[in-house]
Amino acid sequence: MNNMIAIRADGNSEIGFGHLMRTKALARELVKQGAEVIFLSKNPENIKEYQVLPLEHQNRNEEVLLVGEMLKDLRAGMLIIDSYAYTQEQLDRAGQFGLLTVYIDDLNRHPLNTDFVVNGNIYAPELPYRGRARFLLGLKYLLLREEFAGLPKRSAASCADNVLLTFGAADMGNVTPGILHALKNYHQFQRLNWHVAIGPVFQNTGAIEAAAQDYPNILLHYNPDLKELMDHCDMCISAAGSTAYELAACGVPALLVIIADNQVRLAQAAERQGMAINLGWHQQLDTKRLYSALDNLLDNRDLRTRMAARGQELIDGRGAQRVAAELLSAAASH
């Protein structure tokens, strides 16, 4: 097989950066294991680390034909697709290009006949998958960046003083300002440091800055190294997306807020497994429930210790390494 691998993924302020983050994590491992990677994307400005062939705004059927032509020119041996917009028919058409096809999935919306399906979510083994694909499911195959692999076990501080707030690269639900206003009425607000992560494509930075004005214990971090913040903070209020897994790998107890439909299963399963607390949908967030959850964690070191240990037990951060190895092994014999 040609060692050129094409990855089809987008990321922007409307859909978030989750697809790009996990495909970049996989790309890095593929390159480390000897492959050459190129991205096909409608958002080339958000992919700095790899060569990118930009896609225009064709309809999806036109895009499939264009991708096929690009892959033929590249003589690629594998196509990895991470996009909710691809239907079963379009995935099947991509499978006719004569190369290995891989679909990174969260939703299990239809039978999948690509060569591989990767779903590293905590709930993935429970989904009734159908189709001819080989399925790589569950946290063993979770695609995280390499800085979250094999982290040392974390002990909870006797006194929790630093709380992280993070709602992705875009805060698509405009959740951060409302959370900050709610927290100001929390009885332990003044004694805590609230670290607010502001991602690269936030559209509500002004509202966040206004909410933080005159409150020296609200600390704003613009496009930060999120892992450094996780290592510094004792607990976190987070969107129930891929960041929830990074927090668990770091041993940071989390209160999860659902901001998109594809986060519901994650939040529910994370709570069942004891690695996070599910606060439900952001539009329906009850301040009494938020304050009670904060009290439970802040005042209970044993609970924080158990949640940290459970998260690190479940997630070792080596999923991208495993997926890359399996894909390249299959490609070698294709």
Kindly state the average pLDDT of the residues 118-129. Answer: 97
Residue at 271: amino acid letter: E
Looking at residue 53, what is its pLDDT? 92
**pLDDT at 124 (0 to 100):** 98
pLDDT at 13: 79
> pLDDT per residue over 38-62, tens digit each?
999 999 999 999 999 999 866 777 8
Helix (H, G, I), strand (E, B) or coil at 317: coil
Closest CA to 235 of 306, 333, 325: 306
Domain count within the chain = 2
Give the CATH number, domain containing residue 45. 3.40.50.11190
CATH number of the domain residue 273 falls in: 3.40.50.2000
Q: What gap in Å lies between CA 125 and CA 142, rounded to an integer?
A: 12
**Which pairs from 206-210 meet CB under 8 Å and 24+ separation?**
207/174, 207/176, 207/177, 208/176, 208/177, 208/180, 210/177
pLDDT above 80: residue 126: yes
Task: Check whether residue 156 and residue 93 sit in a common domain.
Answer: no
Q: What is the pLDDT of residue 149?
A: 96
Pairing of strands 78-82, 235-239: unpaired
222 and 94 together in one domain: no
Residue 192, CA distances (Å) to 162, 277, 291, 292, 294 in order = 6, 20, 13, 16, 11
- My answer on whether 174 and 34 are in the same domain is no
287 and 170 in a common domain: yes
Co-location of 136 and 223 in the same domain: no
- Its domain, for residue 161, covers 151-314
Mean pLDDT computed over 234-263: 97
What is the pLDDT confidence band of residue 65, given thresholds at 50, 70 and 90?
confident
**Which DSSP state fits 213?**
T
Amino acid identity of residue 157, one-letter, is: A
Residue 61 sits in the same domain as residue 198: no
Residue 312 has pLDDT above 60, yes or no: yes
Residues 6+ apart with CB under 8 A from 194: 163, 165, 180, 183, 217, 218, 219
Report how far apart the first and last C-alpha atoms of the chain are (Å, whole number).
7
Same domain, 24 and 91: yes
Pair 118, 183 in one domain? no
Identify whether residues 159 and 294 lie together within a single domain: yes
Using the structure block, give the residue that is written with the tokens 């992280």: 164
Task: Tell whether 84 and 185 lie within a shared domain.
Answer: no
Confidence of residue 1 (pLDDT cuts 50, 70, 90): low
Q: Where are the alpha helices (DSSP H) in 75-219?
A: 88-94, 176-183, 205-212
Asked if 22 and 48 sit in the same domain, the reply is: yes
pTM greater than 0.75 (yes/no): yes
Q: What's the pLDDT tens digit per position in 94-116?
A: 888 889 999 999 999 999 999 99
Average pLDDT of the chain?
Answer: 94
User: Same domain, yes or no, for 37 and 168?
Assistant: no
Q: Reduce the DSSP state of residue 31 to 3 states and report it.
A: helix
Q: pLDDT per residue over 189-228, tens digit each?
A: 999 999 999 998 899 999 999 999 999 999 999 999 999 9
Average pLDDT, stretch 321-327? 98
